[in-house]
Structures are given as structure tokens and as C-alpha cells.
Amino acid sequence: MTDTTTTAPRIDVTGGDLGARLAKRFATLGFGVMQSTLPRRTQELVMLRVSQINGCGFCVDLHTKEATAAGETATRLHLVAAWRHSTVFTEAERAALALAEEGTRLADGQEGVSDATWQEVRKHYDEEQTTALVYLVAVINAANRLSVIAHNQGGSYEPGMIARLQN
């Protein structure tokens, strides 16, 4: 069993010259997705669901708060983990959440993203939005891994902190 009681991060992955350069390049990818035509609320739902699956407390905190700031309701946020058994998500959002789960659970013996899920995504999203969605799933999975490895904790994120990094 692993001791996870320490609350301080193990390392500042954005610190130092190398960390700062890599973080800037990594953030540029994320900001590119944010500026796409993929609806912002869909982006936040996807990032929240992937972060839940990966057990990233920092990212769950961040995306819950950013989704709230973007106008998401508490009911929908509470039901993201059980979206398949909820009536509050659109068909397009359900397709995005299915893609997010299948693209995240690769090591769980899944085939990856199923043809049925891909067809649903393509039914609801154009080329740019689909591209953004695919990159979003990849980027948030990477961000979750960085935060979990560094041992970043949830609870202290304030809405807008990530956006301020753009400037």
C-alpha cells in the first residue's frame, strides 16, 4: 500500500528552466483546444470525467470549478460519473463522454474507441470539433498523470487560474 497522506507536491513540474519550457508547450496544446469550436461546457465535462477515472484530485477540483464558472449546473456536475444513467446530458455530450471514457480506459482490456462510439461522435461533431475532442482526451490524460505523479492535491484551485497562464 502506498502512503498518500503527504499534502505537499513532490515536485513542481513547471519549475526550473526545463519545467517552464515544457509547461509552456503543454499549455499551448490545451489552449488550442479551448479556442476550438468544441463547446466549452462539453470540454469541461470531458475533462472532469477523465480526471475522475484517473483519480486526479487536482484536476477534478479544477474542472469542477471551471465548469461551474462556465455556467454548468451542480446537478450535471454531480452526475458526470454516472452519465449513462442520467437524463441531463444531450446526445452529443453523451457521445463525447463515451469517447472520453473509451480513450482513457485503454489499459482496462478495452478495444480502444469502439466504432459505435466513433460513429456517434461523428454524428454530432464536425471535423474541427472531433479533432479538438481527440486532442482534449489525450491532453487531459497527460495532465492527470503529471498531477498524480507530482502529487498535486485538489481543493485549492480558484477559477481562472489556468486562463491567467495564457497571458
Number of structural domains in the chain: 1
pLDDT recorded at residue 26: 87
For residue range 26-53, what is the model confidence (pLDDT) as tens digits?
888 989 999 999 999 999 999 999 999 9
CATH number at residue 117: 1.20.1290.10
Does some domain include residue 2?
Answer: no
Q: Say if 3 falls within a structural domain.
A: no
Instruction: Assess if residue 9 is contained within a domain.
Output: no
pLDDT at 152: 87
- Mean pLDDT over 137-141 rounds to 96
- As given in the structure block, the three cell numbers for residue 137 are 482526451
Give the Å distances, CA to CA, from 13 to 7, 42, 43, 151: 16, 27, 24, 10
Q: How many Å apart are CA 119 and CA 123, to the nearest integer?
A: 6
State the sign of the Cα–Cα–Cα–Cα dihedral 57, 59, 63, 65.
Answer: positive
Q: Is 137 exposed, middle or buried (0-12, 13-18, 19+ CB in 10 A)?
A: buried
Domain of residue 34, residue span: 16-166
Q: How much is the pTM?
A: 0.89
Task: Determine the Cα–Cα distance for residues 16 and 10; give it in Å rounded to an integer.
Answer: 14
The C-alpha cell at 154 is 485538489
**Residue 90: CB partners within 8 Å, gap ≥ 6?**
none
Q: Reduce the DSSP state of residue 138 to 3 states and report it.
A: helix
